[in-house]
């Protein structure tokens, strides 16, 4: 978001945001707004979104791209940041996306010891990106490539263990009297319009989600300060559980009105559950909340 709002505008690229990725009427309105500003170059989205786990309907996005393409003579590719759920539990290219991008720093790397990015899609699109990458000089260094290949050997088992641990942690939090809300995709109700999208796009809820403590920033900080096992850090997808306060860290640059619109409150805490013994994680949360 910072890249789009603060940097690309200097190159004449204007982002048009949308905060509801499920309602086709709202998606169409955002498409209209974008078309009114000029040629739509691409549709960029993140689902599930960090940190609220908001979902975007990829079929609806592909349909919107078709409609924009018919109107302006260029179909904007649909680009999905698939970092949060990771490649094991969501395959955007099979759901109508043209490109899936990853911060490989997270689940793929998995050990919080490398910084890398990846993109997958058709040969035609990826070749263009690779050529631009070559010209800009952002090739990954050999050591990080080697570490990444090592990490991919365990991606499946790390993802499965973290996913199972996350369910235990989410269930503990949901039952706790000091917790107001748990934004865990495994808890979507049958009548929730997001549930259909989740069932179509994702095979598991994953291990990064957020929850709200009762109260506000002071109560959230009080809990975070008392944790003994979980580390306070803003990355995600590693073997160790990381926990953070998005409103004052990763999302402090997002305007307050927009934060409020997407439900990113001062009481919101994001957790990326790791592969530790889940009983230790629950015990850590229990003592901190107490
Ligand atoms: C969903 C998502 N996409 C992309 C990024 C950027 O990743 P990196 O730190 O590898 O540049 C992050 C991490 O900050 C992220 O959480």
Q: Work out the burial of residue 185: count CB atoms within 10 Å of its CB; fewer than 13 is exposed, 13-18 middle, 19 or more buried.
A: buried
Plot region of 206 (φ>0 → left; ψ -120 to 50 → alpha; else → beta): left
Average pLDDT estimate for 230-240: 96
* SS3 state at 280: helix
CA of 287 to the centre of ligand 1 (A): 31
Q: Mind listing the pLDDT tens digit for each residue in 79-89?
A: 999 999 999 99
Distances, alpha carbon 209 to alpha carbons 2, 149, 184, 187, in Å:
22, 27, 6, 11
| DSSP letter, residue 48 | S
Distances, alpha carbon 126 to alpha carbons 64, 121, 167, 226, in Å:
22, 6, 35, 46
Strands 208-213 and 179-183: antiparallel
Q: Is the CB–ligand 1 distance for residue 208 below 6 Å? A: no
Q: Mind listing the pLDDT tens digit for each residue in 155-199?
A: 999 999 999 999 999 999 999 999 999 999 999 999 999 999 999
Res. 262 pLDDT band, cuts 50 70 90: confident
Decide if 241 contacts 271 (C-beta within 8 A): yes
Pick from 104, 71, 69, 65: which is nearest to 87 by CA? Answer: 104
User: What confidence score (pLDDT) does residue 56 get?
Assistant: 97
Output the residue whose Cα is nearest ligand 1's atom 8.
Answer: 103
Q: Mind listing the pLDDT tens digit for each residue in 52-70?
A: 999 999 999 999 999 999 9
Q: Mind listing the pLDDT tens digit for each residue in 76-115?
A: 999 999 999 999 999 999 999 999 999 999 999 999 999 9
Res. 265 pLDDT band, cuts 50 70 90: very high
Q: Is the CB–ligand 1 distance for residue 201 below 6 Å? A: no
Alpha-carbon dihedral sign for residues 177, 270, 185, 279? negative
For residue 16, is pLDDT > 90? yes
Q: Is the CB–ligand 1 distance for residue 242 below 6 Å? A: no
Q: Is the CB–ligand 1 distance for residue 51 below 6 Å? A: no
Q: Mind listing the pLDDT tens digit for each residue in 28-38?
A: 999 999 999 99
User: What confidence score (pLDDT) does residue 267 get?
Assistant: 97
Distances, alpha carbon 59 to alpha carbons 63, 65, 76, 79, 200, in Å:
6, 10, 14, 13, 10
């Amino acid at each position: 978001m910072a890249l789009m709002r603060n940097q690309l505008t200097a190159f004449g690229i204007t982002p048009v945001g949308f905060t509801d990725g499920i309602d086709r009427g709202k998606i169409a309105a955002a498409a209209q707004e974008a078309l009114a500003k000029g040629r739509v170059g691409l549709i960029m989205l993140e689902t599930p979104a960090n940190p609220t786990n908001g979902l975007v309907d990829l079929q609806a996005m592909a349909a919107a791209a078709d409609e924009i393409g018919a109107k302006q003579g260029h179909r904007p590719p649909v680009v999905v940041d698939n970092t949060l759920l990771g490649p094991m539990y969501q395959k955007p290219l099979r759901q109508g996306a043209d490109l899936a991008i990853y911060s490989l720093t997270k689940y793929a790397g998995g050990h919080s010891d490398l910084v890398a990015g990846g993109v997958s899609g058709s040969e035609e699109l990826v070749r263009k990106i690779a050529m631009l990458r070559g010209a800009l000089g952002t090739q990954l260094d050999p050591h990080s490539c080697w570490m990444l290949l090592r990490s991919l050997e365990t991606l499946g088992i790390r993802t499965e263990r973290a996913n199972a641990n996350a369910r235990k942690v989410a269930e503990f939090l949901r039952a706790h009297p000091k917790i107001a809300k748990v934004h865990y995709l495994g808890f979507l109700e049958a009548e929730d319009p997001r549930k259909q999208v989740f069932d179509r796009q994702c095979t598991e809820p994953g291990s990064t989600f957020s929850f709200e403590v009762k109260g506000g920033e002071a109560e959230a900080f009080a809990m975070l300060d008392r944790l003994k096992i979980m580390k306070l850090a803003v990355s995600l997808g590693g073997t160790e559980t990381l926990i953070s306060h998005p409103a004052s860290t990763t999302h402090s640059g997002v305007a307050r009105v927009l934060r409020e619109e997407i439900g990113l409150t001062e009481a919101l805490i994001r957790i990326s559950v790791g592969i530790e013994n889940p009983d230790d994680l629950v015990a850590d949360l229990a003592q901190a909340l107490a």
